[in-house]
Amino acid sequence: MRARARINRKKALAVAIILLLLAIITILLLINRSSDQQAARPEVPEASIEPEAPPIITEEFTIPAGKTITELLAPAGFSASRVIEIREATMKVYDLARIPAGQKIRLLRQGESYTAFQLDLDPERYLEVDLTQSPPSASIKSHPVTRQLVLVEGIIKDSLIAAVNQAGEQDLLALMMAEIFGWVIDFYVDLRQDDSFRLLVEKKYINGQFSGYGPILAARFVNKNQVFEAYRYTFPDSGKADYFEAGGGSLRKEFLKSPLRYARITSRFSSSRLHPIRKIYRPHYGIDYAAPIGTPVQATADGVVTFAGWNGAAGRMVRIRHKNAYETMYLHLKSLAAGIKTGARVEGGQVIGYVGSSGESTGPHLDYRLLYHGKYVNPLSWKFQPAEPLPPRYQPDFEQKVRVLQMLLLFPATYF
């Protein structure tokens, strides 16, 4: 019994010694390591440790109408001379004297001093003035944009715009669709109840907020039971993009169906019509589109302006010569678009003027005329040729991309 007790004491003593040894070794190791660290840590003189930079605080406010930049910045402690300095620095990229009311200004402050100010120019771009430099430097920057592919579908009950709004999208998307199909569908004359559409479009977001549409990548429009498809193809060499049918045929025809995206026809092509002012029967070799004053008028095909200006009963008008012996005329305009004068080159879809009621006219409307070999023809019934199809060398690449887009167009909208 005694012997066993002695053995146990010996065991306990041994364990205690081992534990003690372990503790000593651990402590030594710890000391060693910290001294290593001490040794490794460069000697930093106390004075140069950078205090942590204070956080950047953003003060944002909306520009009220009628306020100058000096008045806006005064409450933030900017002197008039400092504001002049800032204005001069920004003049190269933006004239601060023309700051738009309603836009947002952000002042970035770090500690007591303002380091920068930002002025939104549009949903995507903003002017930034770096105030830490003297003189301050200004540049135009873009907010980071996220893009999301969305499928939008709808059925026409009333108008294309109403159907697009019904699908939760903005009017602009309807106009973008009208632009793509505007060579094959007149969205005013041809549209029918229960026509339908499906399209894939990129939507852009800034800070989670919808900021605008990117391009429509693919669209399918059923008009009077006829299916029209459009696939966007970007030419790998030029980076230019255009729309083609699945087989590579061009969506473009020689001429757009209408010089206005959205307008009601009030008078058609006729060899004998009662003239609204002179009350006599005369030929009316044009199509009258009623639209609000100022509605943009687009050239219906590429060409050269042969006349732009005032012309008697026609009022302010534009005449364009196109290839293949075609000419078009746009009468009773309120004004011409910038750069529209004799000799100017225009592209199909380009805005050339604005709807008015100049000359012999009883109300705001556009009188649109088409001539072929110098003779008036009816633009609504004339058979136009399709434009050039996709050049064969792009076909394989195009087909590959179309296959993907066609598949996506079949997906339910909820999938996106």
Q: How far is the CB of 367 from Zn ion (least distance, A)?
A: 3
| Residue 359: count of CB within 10 angstroms of its CB | 17
The Cα 351–Cα 356 span in angstroms is 14
Return the amino acid letter for 261: R
Verify binding: residue 229, Zn ion, rule CB under 5 A: no
The stretch near Zn ion (CB under 5 A) out of 134-142, 246-254, 255-263, 362-370 is 362-370
Stretch 287-326 residues interacting with Zn ion (CB under 5 A): 288
The tokens for 199 are 């399209």
# chain residues binding Zn ion, by CB under 5 A: 3
The pairing of beta strand 104-110 with beta strand 125-130: unpaired
**DSSP secondary structure, 19-88, as one string:** HHHHHHHHHHHHHHHHHHHHHHS----GGGPPPPPPPEEEEEEEPPTT--HHHHHGGGT--HHHHHHHHH
Question: Per-residue x/- marks for Zn ion, 319-358, CB under 5 A?
Answer: ----------------------------------------
Site track 247-286 with Zn ion (rule: CB under 5 A), x = hit = ---------------------------------------x
The least CB distance from residue 286 to Zn ion, in Å, is: 5
Residue (286 or 364) nearer to Zn ion, CB: 286
| C-beta closer to Zn ion: residue 204 or 268 | 268
- Residue 35 CA to residue 24 CA, distance in Å, equals 16
Nearer of residues 99 and 380 to Zn ion, judged by Cβ? 380
CA angle 263, 267, 269 (to 5 degrees): 110
Question: Nearer Cβ to Zn ion, position 120 or 367?
Answer: 367
CA proximity to 314, closest of 255, 270, 357: 357
Q: Following DSSP, what letter does each residue of 101-143 receive, concatenated?
A: TT-EEEEEEETTEEEEEEEE-SSSEEEEEETTSSS-EEEEEE-
Residue nearest to Zn ion as judged by C-beta position: 367
**Nearer CB in complex with Zn ion: 220/365:** 365
Among residues 154 and 286, whose Cβ is nearest to Zn ion? 286
For Zn ion, which residue of 329, 367, 369, 384 counts as binding (CB under 5 A)? 367
- What's the min distance (Å) between Cβ of 128 and Zn ion? 52
Binding site for Zn ion (CB under 5 A): 286, 288, 367
